């Protein structure tokens, strides 16, 4: 057969030879992007930890989480320099594990789960930004009209309208061109920093003894009881919540509760590598130094800022005040929410106890800007993943169409915005159900990020030419030290999962076989990693050089999967860890059991949907004479 005949019968591997995206984001802008994405405004570690893990040290828990995230971030650094293309996590995993695994993990863990995050952004704009802004202004100016407007932003209708406006504004900005977003991000960054600084100023400037009185005055202005603080303490006490926990530093309970805070902090810090999704639009993305600054540098800065905010909250509110703020959210008790709806997140607390008009303005505007950036990063990251999938022919070709002049994936933005609309509705009007799914995003994205770290560990062996041509290929360490790091990651995951599996043998459940199945699966996962590296283990045991990427990849994957296991098997995180529905199901109440297990069923359904999507896409391309597997053996187009 002639070369001409082969060319005529062999289809193009990708839908086109260029992505159409351009590099308009500087490394500094990507660094800022990651900090804003991690969200120094995110409130969960402060709204959950004081009640769920009483006596744990929140600043220390955040620092531990930051340290745990470092090897995960470094694995993404290596991968990004080897494959500096848009679609980040999907590109990494599909080129190491193959399309089936890469598509399923990233479609389920990121593309679908992040739809919840798009609705969360509107909630953040309303509850953490605009509500504190107008309530604070109303309190300072004694304006019931402003207070009424602030309260409206916390209602289901207010949140739904805010979410639609927020989503539409984000989509419009991004459709106008990624370069325009990059420019506007400077405004977001400056506003967020000023608002954050104003929050710290208020919190550090408020004596703990004055906190209850100031919160009561704010509550009374909003139409609640002038003894709101005392009423909230009484409600928490009645619910058997320890409102003034104190654990000796260094005690076993102190370290247990402090370590359990780390997965909550991971809801923010796990996003330190999210800029990888638009690697194809970052200047000098192949530079190891740049990517380290972007991913590891942003992680350390964000971790430090969140820990500082935790110290400031302790200074202003004290332990009891933080429990009051946490209890209303975590127990969904209106008695500990001002006017029955106001959640006492850090921005709201700062606005409530401040009598300074300028500081309230700066706090409200700053937190609103960072909340708006969340919808932007949801659309940016996911649309780039969708473009990469489309170029590989696992999504329709029209999804990856990029506007010739604006250099932005207009179709992908439109699709994702439309998909987010029903989520806006459910998140606004059925918020009680979505509290679990909010933290479920950390679970879903968590296993996607864990898979990326593991893909990094295997890159030097499954894509050797690609790795050896990358800037990080020269970084190696003694094999024995590398094995020790790998062992720490593997043992941490197995030990944590082994311990957490007791959820299936704790009253009212008595399912020891299920507990042992979970433990065996953890051992099987660890065994698979060892098996995948079996050819190299003897040499490393003799001290032969090991790629740093492999050591950090296994360590990071172990840490990440430990976090995922915590969300899956620990009921305190209120995500997927409450398995009492199994007992209801086995008792004969099928409907009740399935309802109680709806979070777990949704998580499973999301994975199954991703599997079906991949199989359907592959079969559709096969009928056209195209084998999509060829794409996963090539570097995606620039």
DSSP 243-265: SS----TT-HHHHHHHHHHHHHH
CA distance 264 to 431: 19
Mean pLDDT, rounded, for 501-521: 92
pLDDT tens for each residue of 584-618: 999 899 999 998 898 899 999 999 999 999 999 99
* Angle between helix 598-623 and 431-462 (nearest 10): 50
d(CA 513, CA 501): 10
* Sequence-distant (≥ 6) Cβ neighbours of residue 319 within 8 angstroms: 50, 244, 245, 246
Question: Which range (18-22, 343-347, 348-352, 623-627) has the least confidence?
Answer: 18-22
162 lies in some domain: no
pLDDT for 538: 96
Q: What is the pLDDT of residue 10?
A: 45
Three-state secondary structure call for residue 247: coil
Q: Please tell me what DSSP assigns to residue 284.
A: T
Q: CA–CA separation, 462 vs 452, rounded Å?
A: 14
CB 38 within 8 A of CB 377: no
Q: What confidence tier does 15 reach under pLDDT thresholds 50, 70, 90?
A: low
CB atoms within 10 A of CB 508: 9
The pLDDT confidence band at residue 18, using thresholds 50, 70 and 90, is: low
Q: Which domain holds residue 527?
A: 454-460+473-633
Residues 476-498: what's their mean pLDDT?
97
Residue 499 located in a structural domain: yes
The strand pairing partners of 25, in sequence order, are: 282
In a domain, 81, yes or no: no
Question: Residues 70-84: what's their mean pLDDT?
Answer: 97
Residue 233: CB atoms within 10 A of its CB come to 21
Cα–Cα distance between 492 and 132 in angstroms, integer?
41
**Ramachandran category for residue 384: left, alpha or beta (phi over 0 → left; psi -120 to 50 → alpha):** alpha
Report yes or no: 532 and 44 within 8 Å, Cβ to Cβ.
no
Q: What is the H or E stretch that residue 478 is in?
A: strand 476-478
CB 360 within 8 A of CB 367: no
What is the band of 440 on the pLDDT scale with cuts at 50, 70, 90? confident
Phi, psi of 564 (to 5 degrees): -60, -45
pLDDT in tens, 171-220: 999 999 999 999 999 999 999 999 999 999 999 999 999 999 999 999 99
Q: What is the mean pLDDT of the chain?
A: 92
194 occurs within a structural domain: no
Average pLDDT of span 60-67 = 97
Q: What is the DSSP letter of 637?
A: P
How many domains are there within the chain? 1
pLDDT of residue 161: 97
Distance between the two ends of the chain, CA-based, in angstroms?
32
Lowest mean pLDDT among 17-26, 453-462, 559-568: 17-26
- What is the spatial distance between Cα 385 and Cα 66, in angstroms, rounded to a whole number? 26
CA–CA distances in Å: residue 372 to residues 240, 348, 368, 551? 37, 17, 6, 37
Question: Is the backbone peptide bond immediately before 508 cis, with ω within 30 degrees of 0?
Answer: yes
Banded model confidence at residue 11, pLDDT cuts 50, 70, 90: low
Closest alpha carbon to 221 in 130, 59, 309, 338: 338
Q: Is 396 part of a structural domain of the chain?
A: no
pLDDT band at 85 (very low <50, low <70, confident <90, very high): very high
Which residues have CB under 8 Å from 538's CB, separation 6+?
none
User: Is residue 498 situated within a structural domain?
Assistant: yes
Helix, strand, coil fractions of the chain, as percent rounded to 5: 75, 0, 20
Look at residues 210, 206, 194 and name the one whose alpha carbon lies nearest to residue 359: 194
Question: What is the DSSP track for 50-94?
Answer: HHHSTT--HHHHHHHHHHHHHHHHHHHHHHHHH---BTHHHHHHH
Residue 298: its pLDDT value, please?
A: 98
Find the helix packing angle between 27-38 and 357-391, rounded to 10°.
110
Confidence of residue 2 (pLDDT cuts 50, 70, 90): very low
User: Which whole number is the average pLDDT over 329-352?
Assistant: 88
Rg of the chain on CA atoms, in Å: 25
User: Which ranges constitute the DSSP H helices of 176-223?
Assistant: 178-204, 211-221
Confirm whether 346 is domain-assigned. no
The CA-based diameter of the chain, rounded to the nearest angstrom, is 88
Instruction: Indicate the SS3 state at residue 41.
Output: coil
Burial of 253: CB neighbours in 10 Å, binned 0-12, 13-18, 19+: middle
Torsion from C-alpha of 265, 270, 272, 273, nearest 10 degrees: 180
What crossing angle do the helices spanning 156-175 and 357-391 adopt, rounded to 10°?
Answer: 60
**How confident is the model over 545-567, as a mean pLDDT?**
97
Confidence bin at 506 (pLDDT 50/70/90): confident
Q: Say yes or no to pLDDT of 446 above 60.
A: yes
The per-residue pLDDT for 3 is 37
Q: Is residue 589 part of a domain?
A: yes
Distance CA 281, CA 22 (A): 5
pLDDT of residue 436: 61
CA distance linking residue 161 with residue 167, whole number of Å: 10
Cα–Cα dist 301/193, whole Å: 12
3-class secondary structure, 393: coil
DSSP state of 394: S
């Amino acid at each position: 057969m002639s070369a001409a005949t082969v060319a005529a019968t062999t289809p193009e591997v990708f839908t086109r030879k260029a992505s159409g995206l351009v590099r308009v984001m500087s490394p500094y802008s990507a660094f800022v992007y990651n900090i804003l994405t991690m969200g120094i405004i995110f409130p969960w570690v402060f709204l959950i930890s004081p009640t769920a893990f009483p006596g744990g040290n929140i600043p220390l828990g955040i620092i531990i989480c930051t340290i745990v995230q470092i090897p995960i971030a470094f694995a993404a650094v290596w991968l990004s320099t080897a494959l500096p293309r848009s679609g980040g996590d999907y590109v990494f995993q599909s080129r190491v594990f193959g399309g089936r695994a890469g598509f399923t993990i990233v479609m389920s863990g990121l593309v679908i789960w992040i739809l919840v995050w798009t609705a969360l952004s509107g909630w953040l704009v309303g509850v953490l930004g605009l509500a504190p802004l107008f309530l604070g202004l109303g309190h300072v100016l004694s304006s019931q009209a402003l207070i009424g407007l602030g309260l409206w932003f916390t209602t289901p209708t207010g949140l739904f309208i805010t979410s639609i406006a927020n989503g539409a504004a984000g989509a419009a900005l991004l459709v106008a061109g990624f370069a325009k977003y990059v420019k506007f991000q400077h405004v977001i960054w400056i506003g967020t920093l000023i608002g954050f600084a104003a929050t710290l100023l208020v919190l550090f400037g408020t004596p703990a003894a004055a906190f209850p009185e100031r919160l009561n005055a704010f509550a009374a202005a909003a139409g609640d009881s002038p003894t709101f603080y005392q009423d909230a303490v009484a409600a928490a006490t009645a619910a058997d919540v320890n409102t003034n926990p104190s654990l000796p530093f260094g005690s076993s309970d102190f370290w247990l509760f402090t370590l359990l805070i780390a997965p909550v902090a991971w809801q923010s810090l796990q996003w330190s590598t999210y800029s990888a999704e638009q690697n194809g639009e970052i200047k000098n993305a192949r530079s190891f130094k740049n990517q380290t600054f972007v991913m590891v540098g942003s992680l350390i800065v964000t971790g430090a800022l969140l820990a500082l905010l935790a110290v400031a909250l302790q200074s202003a509110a004290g332990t009891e005040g933080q429990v009051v703020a946490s209890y209303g959210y975590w127990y969904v008790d209106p008695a500990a929410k001002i006017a029955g709806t106001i959640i006492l997140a850090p921005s709201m607390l700062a606005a409530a106890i401040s009598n300074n008009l300028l500081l309230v303005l700066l706090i409200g505007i700053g937190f609103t800007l960072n909340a708006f950036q969340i919808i932007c990063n949801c659309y940016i990251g996911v649309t780039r993943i969708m473009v990469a999938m489309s170029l590989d022919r696992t999504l329709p070709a029209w999804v990856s169409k990029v506007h010739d002049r604006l250099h932005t994936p207009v179709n992908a933005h439109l699709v994702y915005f439309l998909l987010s609309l029903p989520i806006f509705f459910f998140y606004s009007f059925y918020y009680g159900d979505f509290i679990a799914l909010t933290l479920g995003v950390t679970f879903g994205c968590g296993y996607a990020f864990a898979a990326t770290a593991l893909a990094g560990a295997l890159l030097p062996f499954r894509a050797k030419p690609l790795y050896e041509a990358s800037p990080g290929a020269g970084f190696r360490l003694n094999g024995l030290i590398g094995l020790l790091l790998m062992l720490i990651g593997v043992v941490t995951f197995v030990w944590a999962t082994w311990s957490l599996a007791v959820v299936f043998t704790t009253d009212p459940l008595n399912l020891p076989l299920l507990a042992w199945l979970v433990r065996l699966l953890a051992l099987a996962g660890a065994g698979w990693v060892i098996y995948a590296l079996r050819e190299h283990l003897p040499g490393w045991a003799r001290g032969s050089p090991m790629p740093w990427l492999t050591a950090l990849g296994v360590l990071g994957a172990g840490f990440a999967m430990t976090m995922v296991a915590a969300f899956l098997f620990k009921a305190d995180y209120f995500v997927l860890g409450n398995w009492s529905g199994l007992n209801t199901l086995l008792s004969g109440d099928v409907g009740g059991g399935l309802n109680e297990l709806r979070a777990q069923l949704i998580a499973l359904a999301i994975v199954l949907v991703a599997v079906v999507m991949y199989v359907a896409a592959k079969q559709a391309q096969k009928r056209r004479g195209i084998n999509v597997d060829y794409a996963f053996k090539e570097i995606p187009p620039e």
